[in-house]
Amino acid sequence: MALAALALAASLLCGCASSMSGGVEELLRAPQLAGPQTNVQRALTAYLGEAPQLKYPQNGEILSPFLFGDWNGDGSMDAAALYVSSGMQNVCLAILEQSGGSWVVTQEIEGLSAEVDSVSTAAMSGDGGMQLLVGYAGASGEKYLSVYAYQDHTLTQVMEQAYSQYELQDITGSGLKDLILIGPQTSDGMKVQLLTAIRGEFAMAQEFWLSPERFSSCEGLHLSSGADGGYYLVLDGYVGSGAALASILLGYNATTQQLEEYTPLLPVDVYTESIRYSSLLTSTDIDGDGTVEIPVELPDANGHITVGRLSFVAWMDYTSTTPEKSFGIVDLENGFYLELPPSWEGKIQVKEGSQEGSWAIRSLEDGTGYLEVRVVEPSTEGGSYFRLGNVGGKKVQARILASHIGENGENLQPAALTDCFRVL
């Protein structure tokens, strides 16, 4: 973790209509295809009698229009392709199997819109095959998730649901992937659904509502490992009119077999404590350990920060008895976070620096300068400053004002500080 480094060194059948914008998309986004992808595309072109416009997912871990997996559980590799062809406006999903050393289209189905938001694959039903999940993005920003199953050479839409966010994980301990889906905001709030394998069939296991008084939208759903080794879901959402974000934790209760809002080990209201006033402060795995931490803006009643765009932030793992995982300063105008030693918390002040637009960290006790940070144009020479990172087309630089600082005499080193820089 960067902090450790700093603490040591700082111590539907279809054949689917292309458009001019689609052509631009292909030119900008399509890579040179190779191997199996090329063969699948050739088979699809031969089947359609024309070259399809491939549709690339806009979000998620899979950003390719081609997917490979054993869809029907027969032990052979299958393929899937997302595309648009003439005569249809919506995205199409085609399934291909291998026959005689060649790929053959066996099924195709029309999707729900002209764009793909995301795509995933998962073993969800216990039939030996893998399901395909395609999130479709509508023209007005609405999103719809379809779950497809392929068995006996037939492609079936198992589920269609409007959504804002979803996650896949074996949260119930069944050995199969569960689907946790957050619906769009309605007058009743946001619906949370848990879909899992029940007696070998993929089915709805639970649904409940999050009150509109608490959340007006869901802005993020993050899978996280907890301090107890279990899986949790961190939900970020806007509060009320959308001026602030807040978070809650969802966990699976094996006794009740229900997804529930998690109660922390320490007496703290996660929702209330996590209210913050910048869209940049979304929950994330800040230290790369598999746990998604929730950002908390720390109060500054005594005015220890006099630079308006800066704020003290702690990143919290509420499944732990020592929840604070990282402490530092966030620049909400330029969009970056600088992690600092935990021993500095409550003992530093941040004021304007010596350079225009810079800011300096100083001792609260005697004003000793520790570190100065500035954001400059790429062409700016470093001089006594070293590079922390890049953000928004600019360079973030820092210079050490005192080599030995803090109650433990931390020895600041540029390399350690660079590791503590995060773009939000």
Asked if residue 363 and residue 266 are part of one domain, the reply reads: no
User: For residue 192, is it within any domain?
Assistant: yes
247 and 177, same structural domain? yes
212 Cβ contact partners less than 8 Å away, ≥ 6 residues apart: 185, 186, 187, 188, 189, 190
Cβ(82)–Cβ(54) below 8 Å:
yes
* Residue 3: predicted pLDDT: 39
DSSP-derived 3-state class of residue 314: strand
Whether residue 107 contacts residue 94, with contact meaning beta carbons closer than 8 Å, is answered with yes
Q: How many domains does the chain have?
A: 3
- The answer to whether residue 308 sits within a structural domain is no
Statement to judge: residues 144 and 226 lie in one domain: no
pLDDT single digits (tens) 108-152: 999 999 999 999 999 998 888 999 999 999 999 999 999 999 999
Q: Are residues 277 and 361 in the same domain?
A: no
DSSP output for 96-157:
EEEETTEEEEEEEEE-SSSEEEEEEEE--SSSSS-EEEEEEE-TTS-EEEEEEEEETTEEEE
41 and 151: one domain? yes
Check whether 5 has a pLDDT greater than 50. Answer: no
52 with 65: CB under 8 angstroms? no
- pLDDT grade, residue 22 (50/70/90)? very low
Both 199 and 109 in a single domain? Answer: no
**Is position 66 within any domain?**
yes
The answer to whether residue 193 sits within a structural domain is: yes
List, for residues 255-313, the tens digit of each pLDDT value. 999 999 999 989 999 999 999 999 999 999 999 999 999 999 999 878 899 999 999 99
Q: Do residues 196 and 179 touch, judged by C-beta distance below 8 A?
A: yes
99 and 215 belong to one structural domain: no
* 8 Å CB contact between 11 and 410: yes
pTM, full prediction:
0.84
- In this structure, the chain runs to a length of 424
Query: Which pLDDT tens digit goes with each residue over 352-375?
Result: 999 888 999 999 999 989 999 999
Task: Report CA 396 to chain centroid distance, whole Å.
Answer: 24
Residue-wise pLDDT tens digits, 211-260: 999 999 999 999 999 999 999 999 999 998 788 999 999 999 999 999 99
**More confident position, 137 or 3:** 137
Domain end point (choices 124, 143, 159): 159
Tell which of 234, 253, 287 closes a domain. 287
Residues 202 and 266 in one domain: yes
For the chain, give the mean pLDDT: 89
Instruction: List residues bridging with 98 in a β-sheet.
Output: 103
Exposure string over 388-406, b if 16+ CB within 10 A, otherwise e: beebeeebbbbbbbeeebb
Tell me the CA distances in angstroms from 364 to 351, 367, 416, 417, 418, one per residue in order. Answer: 11, 6, 23, 21, 24
Residue 146 carries which side chain, given as an amino acid letter? S
DSSP-based three-state secondary structure for 71: coil
Query: Tens digits of per-residue pLDDT, 61-114?
Result: 999 999 999 999 999 999 999 999 998 889 999 999 999 889 999 999 999 999
Provide the CATH number for the domain around residue 220: 2.40.128
Same domain? For 121 and 212 the reply is no
Q: Which domain holds residue 70?
A: 37-159
| Domain-embedded: residue 7 | no
| Same domain, residue pair 140 and 200 | no
End of a domain among 141, 159, 177? Answer: 159
Domain co-membership, 170 together with 203: yes
Which pLDDT score is estimated for 407? 53
Alpha helix (H) residue ranges in 237-317: 270-273
Going by C-alpha positions, the residue among 195, 107, 182 that lies closest to residue 147 is 195
Handedness of CA 408, 411, 417, 420 (dihedral sign): negative
Same domain, 121 and 231: no
